[in-house]
A = this chain, B = another copy of it.
């Protein structure tokens, strides 16, 4: 996925519609949260088993796909507005998690540290 390209496309999209005025980081974080709320609604009454890919109906999977796309779109747009290098941020966070959640201490244990 070429993030910069997608971000440029999203920036153009907003600019053409004069939507930059709405796209403050504060507002984008709210829009992101709104989309995550819609994702939760898909899974809220399903058991964990029923939420697995193999158990979802086509309609549920299509809905989840669309919500995940919306979530990514707002996350990319927010990262762009904050001038955050997402790839670097993710990579750093995985390294940090590897130190915090060592294999020995965390095997089979989901406790937050």
* A interface residue numbers (CB < 8 A to B): 1-3, 6, 9-10, 13, 16-19, 21-22, 24-27, 29-53, 56, 61, 64-66, 68-73, 75-76, 78-79, 81-84, 86-87, 89-94, 97-98, 101, 103, 106-110, 112
Contact = CB atoms under 8 A, between A and B. Distances in A.
Contact of A38 (B26, B37, B73): B37
Copies in the complex: 4
A39 B30 CA distance: 9
A89 B68 contact: yes
Ordered nearest first, which 9 A-B pairs have the shortest CB separation?
Answer: A37-B37, A26-B51, A24-B48, A69-B93, A45-B110, A30-B44, A69-B89, A25-B51, A34-B41
A9 B94 contact: yes
A94 B82 contact: no
